[in-house]
Structure 1
Amino acid sequence: MTQKTVLITGCSSGIGLDAARGLHARGWRVIATCRATADVAARRAEGMDSFPLDISDPASVAEGARQALALTDGKIDALVNNAAFAVPGAVEDLPRDALREIFETNLFGTHDLTRAVIPAMRAAGTGRIVNISSVLGLVGIRWRGAYVSTKFALEGLSDVLRLEMEGTGIRVILIEPGPITSKIRQNSIPHFERWIDWQNSARADQYRDSLLRRLYESQGPDRFELPADAVTRRLIHALESRNPSRRYFVTTPTWFMGAARRILPTRALDWLARQA
């Protein structure tokens, strides 16, 4: 069988790194992109193709797509859009530029890269685009407005793209993790410190009593937290099954919130979200 190729973003750690390693072990040719050159070198040392890709930079996205297509003679079997980050903070404290920055990575860069590989998939008559969303693409919780808004947008864009790709041989699939072991909390701290003027917020006391503790103090694993390979297992099915699902829930909270969103009135769903 001809070796299949997958392009994955955000392979420095967490979900992206585990996915890259898992698919590489299964015989896929993995193009594992990262922002940092040290991480690129590490992926290459593991036998994967890799190059720097900053998904927030349009020029880097265009060059990354060009390199990926050049490496594969113009054939990419699958794209896994994983790169994303969070900006914790109350919605009323989010400046416009903070939202602009997070959308550049979590949505716009993902969209640009997807558009760049679709022509090659169209020419091949087949392809799979897997977007890594979140339980926060299904329901919102306090302090996560910036991240939630990008994931809600990604869900909508993916749903429409899936409908529009019918008949092309290109499948569009969403994976919705919940609490997964990763560095997203630690990685969000610089963004919080850059954008959120919490000391001068009307919610300063709430920051001290809630968000700052959760952000700066390790609380240990979440009660329902799963390792990153739980996502990789769903991803393998999404990429290798002849009839993949359109959506994959990963953790108990995602299954629960997915069901709750369908059946509960907004007032009850708000009550549930306040417990998170």
Structure 2
Amino acid sequence: MPQSILITGCSSGIGYDAAHTLHKQGWQVFATCRQQVDCDRLRTEGLNSLVLDYADEASIKQALAQVLDQTGGTLDALYNNGAFAQPGLVQDYPRDALRAIFEVNLFGYFDLINQVLPVMFKQGHGRIINCSSVLGLGALRARGAYNSTKFAMEGLTDTLRLELRKTPIHICLIEPGPITTDIRTKAQPHFEKWIDWEKSQGRLFYEKQLIPRLYATNTTPDFGELPASAVTKKLIHALTSNRPKPRYYVTVPTYMVGIMKRLLSTRALDRVLGRM
């Protein structure tokens, strides 16, 4: 029997590349998306796709039940990848904006993990890989909501790894830097919904920096930007290595931030990251 993996956030970008690559390598891939229309598209491309919306507890439970029904009650691996960004200055986040992004980028991850773990305990093995970010290592202006979900996710993932270190279940983090995806375009509706930038004390920052970058149509690649396949390469190592790494950095900026956090004081790191 082929090994099975449930991957979230497969409509585009990192999840899309991972689902197609592993499918071609013979994995039994369950590629989930938040919207049915995206699942329908993936099915025409040969993938087994079903709806899973992190913000909907019933959706998570139903998706996992469908997966287990098709595998006979087993699941070899889970790759938590789906997430969204909420641009804006911290001072301008309404409470509901933070609640919405935490539901998806954090609470949904661990709701799904906690439902998968009994399956992996019973079968005696499993791998759980969470997709974090360079923004789970260092903070950048106007990314506070996304930063905070990734910081929190890293903390919970590290704790889970400690708690399961004497079990045959491996817990890994993948930490991409700039990757060629449409996360910026998908962040626009969230910005428009929650951020009243015209009334903000930081209006000039929005006008001069954030909005031109967020809505740019002809952008040059970010420093160190790589295709989604670079993330999939690290994912495959995490899935197949006899001794997977706790953390996988992807892109030069991620390595740079990781090194700077170890070598620089907080004030010095603030000076560097504050220019970005």
Structure 1 length normalisation: TM-score? 0.98
* Corresponding position: 1:192 with 2:201: no
Shift of 1:167: 2.1
* Amino acid aligned to 1:105: V
Deviation at 1:43, TM superposition (A): 1.9
> Could you say which residue in structure 1 is the equivalent of 2:25?
26
Output the CA distance in 2 between the equivalents of 1:45 and 1:121: 30
8 A contact 1:135–1:257 mirrored in 2 = yes
- Secondary structure at the residue paired with 2:74? coil
Contact 2:101 2:149 in 1 (8 A): yes
CA RMSD of aligned residues (A): 0.8
Q: Distance in 2 between matches of 1:263 and 1:34?
A: 40
| Percent identity of paired positions between Structure 1 and Structure 2 | 55
Partner of 1:91 in structure 2? 90
Gaps of 5+ in 2: none
- Indicate the residue corresponding to 1:259 in structure 2: 259
SS at match of 1:223: coil
CA deviation map 1:189-230 (0-9, x unaligned): 000000000000011111100000110113221121100000
Aligned-partner residue type, residue 23 of structure 1: L
Q: Offset of 1:168 from its aligned partner?
A: 1.9
Note the C-alpha offset of 1:46. Answer: 2.6
TM-score (ref. length: structure 2): 0.98
Task: Determine the C-alpha separation between the residues in 1 that align with 2:57 and 2:271.
Answer: 40
Aligned with 1:51: secondary structure? Answer: strand
Contact 2:223 2:253 in 1 (8 A): no
* CA deviation map 1:155-182 (0-9, x unaligned): 0000000011122210000000000000
Instruction: Give, in angstroms, the shift of residue 275 of structure 1.
Output: 2.1
- Three-state SS of the structure 1 residue aligned to 2:83 is coil
Cα distance in 2 for partners of 1:212, 1:224 equals 22
Deviation at 1:48, TM superposition (A): 2.2
Tell me if structure 1 keeps the 8 A contact 2:180–2:227: yes
Within 5 A, what are the aligned runs for 1:77-116? 77-116=76-115
CA distance in structure 1 between the aligned counterparts of 2:160 and 2:237, rounded to whole angstroms = 20
> 2:206 corresponds to which residue?
207
Contact 2:188 2:214 in 1 (8 A): yes
Displacement of 1:271 after TM fit? 0.8
For the Cα contact (< 8 Å) 2:238–2:245, is it kept in 1? yes
Shift of 1:68: 1.3
Give me the whole-angstrom Cα distance separating, in 2, the residues matched to 1:262 and 1:125. 36
Equivalent residues in 2 for 1:128-207, closer than 5 Å: 128-207=127-206
Alignment: residue pair count: 275
Secondary structure at the aligned position of 2:49 is classed as coil
Post-superposition offset of 1:62: 1.2
Per the TM alignment, residue 36 of structure 1 is displaced from its structure 2 partner at its CA by: 1.7
Q: Which runs of 4+ in 1 moved over 3 A?
A: none
Q: Indicate the SS of the match to 1:11.
A: coil
Q: Deviations over 1:99-158 (max 9, x none)?
A: 000000000011100111100000111100000000000000000000000000000000
